[in-house]
Amino acid sequence: MPIWHIGKRREALTGNSEIYKKQVIRYLEKRGYYLKASSDVEATFPDCILTRKGEEREYWLEAKATTISLGDGSFLSQLGKYLAEYVARISSNRFRLIIACYRILNLGFFDQIFESVNPMRSEISKRKS
Q: What is the pLDDT of residues 16-72, one digit of tens each?
A: 788 888 899 999 999 999 999 888 787 788 889 999 988 889 999 998 888 888 888
Q: What is the pLDDT of residue 53?
A: 87
CATH number at residue 62: 3.40.1350
Question: Is 8 among the domain residues?
Answer: no
State the pTM of this model.
Answer: 0.71
Question: Is 5 among the domain residues?
Answer: no
Q: What is the pLDDT of residue 58?
A: 93
* Percent of the chain topping pLDDT 90: 22
Q: Is the dihedral of CA 120, 121, 122, 128 positive or negative?
A: positive
Number of domains in the chain: 1
Strand partners, 59: 50, 96
Q: Are strands 33-38 and 48-52 parallel, antiparallel or unpaired?
A: antiparallel
Question: Is 74 among the domain residues?
Answer: yes
Question: Is 7 among the domain residues?
Answer: no
Mean local confidence (pLDDT), 3-25: 63
Specify the long-range contacts of residues 108-111, CB closer than 8 Å, at least 24 apart. Answer: 109/70, 110/70
Residue 37, domain extent: 13-128
Question: Is 119 among the domain residues?
Answer: yes
Question: Is 90 among the domain residues?
Answer: yes
Mean local confidence (pLDDT), 66-90: 88
- Residue 120 — pLDDT band, cuts 50, 70, 90? low
- Residue 95 — pLDDT band, cuts 50, 70, 90? very high
What is the side-by-side order of every strand in the sheet holding 59-68?
Answer: 33-38, 48-52, 59-68, 96-104
- Please indicate whether residue 3 or residue 122 has the higher confidence score (pLDDT): 122
Question: Is 6 among the domain residues?
Answer: no
Question: Is 85 among the domain residues?
Answer: yes
